[in-house]
Amino acid sequence: MNEPNVLKWICRCLCTVIILCAVSVVPASAQAPNVTLEAKNVTVKELLRLIEANSPYTFAYADADITPGKRVSVKADNRSIESIIAEVLPEVNVEIKGLKILLTTRSGGG
């Protein structure tokens, strides 16, 4: 290989490494942090407010999708927000976009 070809090859390799590093960071940033909380016989709406108070995230949802008046109890010790929602609202999808957590009804019956 002559010198210009070697430089092109090195540039391609560096670009590939940079792209792979950037892509590998994206899934990690799409996960909500873990929280610790205990809530007994609270409404779903109260639970979501409690999670918001213990994290940088806010929730977006339609009342019809989450039944905000439903009473739930949960004890979470350093658990992911997704697992807490899955426990109390198994019929709800959790999608994280930036610092917003979108809650929607699962389609197709589960």
The predicted-structure confidence for 61-110, as pLDDT tens digits, reads as follows 999 999 999 999 999 999 999 999 999 999 999 999 999 999 999 875 44
Could you tell me the CA-to-CA distances from 57 to 33, 50, 103, 104, 108 in Å, in that order? 9, 11, 13, 16, 28
Tell me the whole-structure pTM to 2 decimals.
0.68
* Distance separating the N- and C-terminal Cα atoms of the chain: 57
45-75 pLDDT, tens per residue? 999 999 999 999 999 999 999 999 999 999 9
State how far the Cα of 36 lies from the Cα of 42, in Å rounded to an integer. Answer: 16
